[in-house]
């Protein structure tokens, strides 16, 4: 067979496979895919998009499903008209039973079309993957939660009231944050016994095999610090040894070489205990040794080769922005950098700042926290109702795949709810490849089969939670 014929045959096979997949979708999956596509293709970047429009479109789906106007609340504030959200309520049959909140964010990270292989704001299904900005983070879950509310509206009222909050601002520090605004201004709209959120990621190895599921309980705390060097400056024709840019650069190199100490909490201790059994070999043995002695440098070096493990074990800080100088022909009077820290839960800001000062090893430097000070709530408890139910249903949907407690190394809107007394959990169902599937980066993708499997699992999980006394 000629190369041309083989290439043509491959194209035909791909088209037939796509057609077969489309033909085998259940009617409810077809309806869900349309909702997911509409949400993904609604641009919700801070620079050019509108979360409010996305919220309105999701509200329209729920209204078509039978929700009353009084059960749908599309909200925004005058200063941020495009950064609105949606709160929807499905009343339960027992008004005395505590509600359950489904939380997801509508906004997405910026995406430059010139850098992407495909248009980031057009949902493309290709070779078993959905490609688009937000295809995974977090419009997959937002679409699943909206779809679940619509499906449940068609049947008997659940025992517990279900609430849905789709908010904006999770992806951009310093921007209007809908989840925080709801907690501060309309706690009654989202009051619940517990909330289900993003933040949990299952592991899929490079061969595509499911290794483990995760149930997120707790997350690291986002905090920026400003490190700055100052100098009297002067004419660039008369250089002097105390140069603000050089001093800052040297301090940043030292900070980059600094390792924060290993820490454990109940969630990460359980995670590494189980992961050690699954991993085995040198890495599994090192995890066991590190659990026994967090100061074991040799074990730490082995486990920390994995960036995810490294981040789960400690506070991490990294330089993310630089600025300095005021003229090309003048010695710099000021040079500074942003240090972005993801602090281990319970690690006080002052303790982290003091370690940065120590690592910089230059008393002339100033190091100060900047921006809004994030809350530092402890991880919510993994109760039999929340964790046990998730584990039981996971065994049916993902047989043989263990469910592990997990702490998110990133930040989610769950930090605002946890800090205000609503235990918030990152629910299982999603799997990630070793490369992170392009989340926050180029060519973000979501497994087609994985999305439908996650939807089925979360539907059954939410039904079980809603039926619980």
The tens digit of pLDDT for each residue in 98-118 reads: 999 999 999 999 999 999 999
- Which residues are CB-neighbours of 66 under 8 A, at least 6 positions away? 153, 154
**Mean pLDDT, to the nearest integer, of 355-363?**
98
- Over range 295-315, report the average pLDDT: 96
Q: What is the pLDDT of residue 467?
A: 97
Q: Is the peptide bond before 314 cis (omega within 30 degrees of 0)?
A: no
Q: Quick check: 157 pLDDT over 60? A: yes
Query: For residue 234, what pLDDT band results from cuts at 50, 70 and 90?
Result: very high
Give the model's pLDDT for residue 23: 54
| Gap between the Cα atoms of 52 and 69, Å rounded | 17
pLDDT digits (tens, 9 = 90+) for 413-446: 999 999 999 999 999 999 999 899 999 999 999 9
* Whole-number pLDDT of residue 378: 82
Q: Is the pLDDT of residue 16 over 50?
A: no
Q: Is the pLDDT of residue 411 over 80?
A: yes
Contact 106, 55 (CB under 8 A): yes
18-76: per-residue pLDDT in tens?
444 445 999 999 999 999 999 999 999 999 999 999 999 999 999 999 999 999 999 99
Kindly tell me if the per-residue pLDDT of 15 is higher than 80: no
Burial bucket for residue 463 (CB in 10 Å: 0-12, 13-18, 19+): middle
- Ranges in the chain annotated CATH 3.40.630.10: 3-199+412-467
At the topology level, CATH places domain 3-199+412-467 in Aminopeptidase (3.40.630)
Give the pLDDT of residue 374.
79
Is it the case that residue 8 has pLDDT exceeding 50? Answer: no
**Residue 400: pLDDT band with limits 50, 70, 90:** very high
Q: How confident is the model at residue 6 (pLDDT cuts 50, 70, 90)?
A: low
Q: What is the pLDDT of residue 12?
A: 46
Q: What pLDDT is attached to residue 19?
A: 44
* Residues facing residue 74 across a β-bridge: 86
Contacts of 254 (CB under 8 A, 6+ apart): 359, 360, 361
Overall average pLDDT of the 126-134 stretch: 97
Share of the chain above pLDDT 90, in %: 86
Alpha carbon separation from 338 to 322, 359, 363, 366 (Å, rounded): 7, 15, 18, 12
Distance CA 427, CA 406 (A): 10
């Amino acid at each position: 067979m000629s190369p041309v014929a083989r290439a043509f045959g491959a194209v035909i096979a791909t088209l037939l496979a796509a057609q077969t997949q489309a033909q085998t979708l259940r009617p409810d999956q077809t309806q869900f895919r349309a909702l997911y596509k509409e949400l993904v293709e609604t641009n919700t970047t801070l620079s050019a998009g509108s979360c409010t429009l996305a919220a309105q479109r999701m509200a329209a789906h729920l209204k078509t499903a039978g929700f009353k106007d009084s059960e749908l609340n599309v909200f925004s504030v005058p200063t941020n008209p495009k950064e609105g959200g949606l709160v929807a309520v499905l009343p339960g049959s027992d008004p005395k039973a505590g509600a359950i909140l489904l939380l997801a964010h509508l906004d997405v990270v910026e995406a430059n079309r010139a850098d992407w292989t495909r248009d980031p704001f057009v949902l493309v299904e290709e070779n078993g993957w959905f490609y688009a900005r937000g295809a995974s983070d977090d419009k997959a879950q937002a679409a699943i939660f909206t779809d679940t509310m619509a499906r449940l509206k068609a049947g008997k009222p659940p025992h517990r009231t279900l609430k849905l909050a789709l908010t904006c601002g999770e992806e951009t520090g310093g921007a209007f944050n809908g989840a925080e605004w709801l907690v501060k201004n309309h706690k009654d709209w989202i009051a619940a016994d517990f909330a289900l959120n993003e933040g949990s990621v299952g592991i899929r190895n490079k061969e595509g095999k499911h290794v483990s599921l995760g149930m997120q309980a707790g997350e690291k705390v986002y905090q920026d610090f400003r490190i700055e060097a100052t100098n009297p400056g002067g004419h660039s024709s008369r250089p002097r040894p105390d140069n603000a840019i050089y001093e800052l650069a040297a301090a940043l190199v030292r900070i980059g070489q600094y390792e924060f100490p290993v820490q454990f909490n109940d969630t990460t201790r359980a995670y590494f205990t189980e992961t050690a059994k699954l991993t085995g070999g040198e890495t599994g043995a090192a995890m066991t040794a590190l659990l026994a002695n967090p100061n074991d440098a040799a074990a730490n070096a082995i486990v920390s080769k994995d960036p995810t493990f490294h981040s789960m074990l400690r506070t991490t800080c990294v330089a993310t922005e630089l600025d300095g100088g005021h003229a090309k022909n003048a010695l710099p009077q000021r040079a500074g950098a942003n240090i972005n820290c993801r602090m281990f839960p319970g690690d006080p800001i002052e303790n982290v700042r003091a370690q940065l000062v120590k690592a910089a090893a230059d008393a002339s430097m100033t190091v100060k926290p900047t921006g809004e000070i994030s809350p530092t709530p402890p991880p919510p408890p993994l109760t039999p109702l929340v964790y046990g139910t998730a584990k039981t249903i996971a065994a049916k949907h993902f047989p043989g795949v263990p469910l592990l407690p997990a702490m998110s190394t990133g930040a989610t809107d769950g930090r605002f709810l946890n800090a205000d007394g609503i235990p918030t959990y990152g629910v299982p169902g999603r799997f990630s490849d070793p490369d992170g599937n392009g989340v926050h980066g180029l060519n973000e993708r979501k497994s087609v089969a994985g999305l439908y499997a996650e939807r089925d699992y979360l539907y059954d999980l939410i039904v079980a939670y809603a039926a619980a006394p």
